[in-house]
């Protein structure tokens, strides 16, 4: 059998990129104060992404690399939301961008004889457990409009904020649920002076007898008053026969008075505090449910946009390597 030709034509493209040139888009922490905000400092990077990265590729980048939230100097610490990068993270991010740039350029060269491609006609993504990413040349679809890089970033930041708020609400809900009941101050009675004279002692004894009489009348209203009075005389007297004040009996009287007041209907302050706690839990739960629904909807939209299997196009094998300050990419396509 004579030699058979290869059944399909293959095309190879290669590109080398000096990734250091992308570091200018990733400003490192400054030692002097600046008025740049997180969004304005990313403007050059947004312009690069609008030319180079698809929205799904941008989200992959921002999930992997984020600017540092803490400046390196006291002067910059007073300025919130600085869009500065840690030096190590900035170098890794620039290397990542350089590798993706070289890969897309290699795919464009591999398809040079078949189709004129732009950078956003190629999507580079790691799929499954493969160490090397795959390239996908998207089918030509007219009228496709992508969200701007700034909109993609702001949507991610908004969702990160929602997650932080959800975390805070869950902690607050646990604290409100686990908070112990607090006894109102009007429930407490402190005896600051125990040295009572004879007149005060007699007044306390009379108050005790009147309180006992009222309790007996409430428990059995048809019972004659004389019987109630007879019952109250069995209580221990405050003064002994020699006229000495019995402090233990006084303490017992005060405890009975306190028990009578506490066994009655809850005070208005107690009801108010319990109602406030319930309202707080209700508000926290309602807000948490709304945030969870919003996060789920946002994640669902992103999953549909990022789904690799739902895309239409031709897969290209890629190889990306790094040699010092250079990124080398090779694309193998069947054309």
207-235 tens-digit pLDDT = 667 677 766 666 655 554 444 444 444 55
Torsion sign across C-alpha atoms 149, 150, 151, 153:
positive
Report the DSSP beta bridge partners of residue 318: 331
Judge whether 81 and 35 are in contact, CB under 8 Å: no
pLDDT value for 301: 82
pLDDT value for 107: 97
Q: 186 or 213: whose pLDDT is higher?
A: 213
pLDDT value for 243: 63
Q: In angstroms, rounded to a whole number, what is the distance separating the alpha carbons of residues 221 and 311?
A: 87
Q: In angstroms, rounded to a whole number, what is the distance separating the alpha carbons of residues 318 and 12?
A: 10
Half-sphere exposure of 227 (CA within 13 A, CB side): 9
Average pLDDT over all residues of the chain:
76
Torsion sign across C-alpha atoms 244, 249, 254, 257:
negative
Q: In angstroms, rounded to a whole number, what is the distance separating the alpha carbons of residues 107 and 332?
A: 8
Residue 190 pLDDT grade (very low, low, confident, very high; cuts 50, 70, 90) = very low
Closest to 131 in 3D by CA, of 330, 327, 321, 332 = 321
Residues 6+ apart with CB under 8 A from 207: 253
pLDDT value for 73: 41
Q: What is the pLDDT of residues 247-265, one digit of tens each?
A: 676 667 666 655 555 555 5
For range 321-333, the mean pLDDT: 95
CATH superfamily of 10-139+312-334: 4'-phosphopantetheinyl transferase domain (3.90.470.20)
Residue 313 pLDDT grade (very low, low, confident, very high; cuts 50, 70, 90) = very high
pLDDT value for 238: 66
pLDDT value for 58: 95
Residue 317 pLDDT grade (very low, low, confident, very high; cuts 50, 70, 90) = very high
Q: What is the pLDDT of residues 269-281, one digit of tens each?
A: 555 666 766 777 7
From-to residues of CATH 3.90.470.20 in the chain: 10-139+312-334
Residue 298 pLDDT grade (very low, low, confident, very high; cuts 50, 70, 90) = confident
Stated as kind and residue range, the H or E segment containing 333 is: strand 326-334
pLDDT value for 189: 43
Half-sphere exposure of 322 (CA within 13 A, CB side): 15
Q: Can you give the pTM of this predicted structure?
A: 0.62
Q: What is the pLDDT of residues 71-110, one digit of tens each?
A: 444 433 333 344 689 999 999 999 999 999 999 999 999 9
Residue with tokens 């990413």: 133
pLDDT value for 32: 41
Q: 268 or 104: whose pLDDT is higher?
A: 104
Half-sphere exposure of 54 (CA within 13 A, CB side): 23
Secondary structure (DSSP) of 199-229 = HHHHHHHHHHHHHHHHHHHHH-TTS-HHHHH
Helical spans, DSSP H, in 23-148: 38-41, 43-52, 55-64, 74-77, 87-110
pLDDT value for 328: 97
Measured from the Cβ of residue 91, the count of other Cβ atoms closer than 10 Å reads 17
pLDDT value for 169: 79
pLDDT value for 268: 60
Q: 191 or 278: whose pLDDT is higher?
A: 278
Residue 185 has pLDDT above 90, yes or no: no
3-state secondary structure of 293: helix
């Amino acid at each position: 059998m004579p030699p058979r030709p290869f059944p399909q034509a293959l095309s190879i493209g290669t590109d080398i990129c000096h990734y250091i040139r992308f570091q200018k888009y990733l400003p490192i922490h400054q030692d002097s104060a600046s008025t740049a905000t997180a969004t304005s400092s990313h403007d050059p990077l947004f312009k690069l992404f609008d030319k180079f990265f698809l929205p799904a590729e941008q989200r992959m980048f921002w999930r992997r690399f984020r600017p540092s939230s803490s400046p390196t100097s006291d002067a910059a610490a007073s300025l919130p939301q600085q869009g500065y990068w840690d030096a190590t993270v900035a170098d890794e991010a620039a290397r990542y961008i350089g590798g993706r740039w070289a890969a897309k350029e290699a795919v464009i060269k591999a398809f040079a004889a078949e189709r004129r491609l732009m950078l956003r006609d190629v999507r580079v993504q790691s799929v499954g457990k493969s160490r090397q990413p795959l390239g996908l040349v998207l089918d030509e679809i007219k009228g496709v409009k992508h969200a701007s890089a700034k909109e993609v970033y702001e949507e991610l930041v908004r969702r990160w904020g929602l997650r932080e708020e959800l975390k805070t609400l869950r902690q607050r809900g646990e604290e409100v649920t686990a908070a112990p009941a607090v006894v109102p101050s009007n429930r407490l009675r402190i005896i600051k002076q125990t040295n009572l004279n004879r007149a005060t002692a007699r007044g306390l004894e009379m108050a005790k007898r009147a309180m006992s009489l009222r309790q007996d009348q409430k428990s059995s209203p048809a019972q004659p008053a004389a019987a109630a009075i007879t019952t109250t005389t069995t209580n221990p007297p405050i003064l002994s026969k020699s006229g000495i004040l019995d402090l233990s009996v006084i303490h017992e009287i005060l405890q009975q008075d306190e028990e009578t007041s506490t066994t009655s209907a809850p005070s208005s302050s107690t009801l108010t505090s319990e109602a406030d706690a319930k309202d707080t839990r209700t508000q926290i739960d309602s807000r948490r449910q709304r945030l969870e629904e919003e996060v789920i909807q946002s994640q669902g939209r992103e999953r549909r946009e990022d789904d690799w299997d739902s895309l239409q196009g031709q897969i290209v094998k890629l190889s990306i390597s790094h040699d010092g300050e250079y990124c080398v990419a090779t694309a193998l396509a069947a054309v």
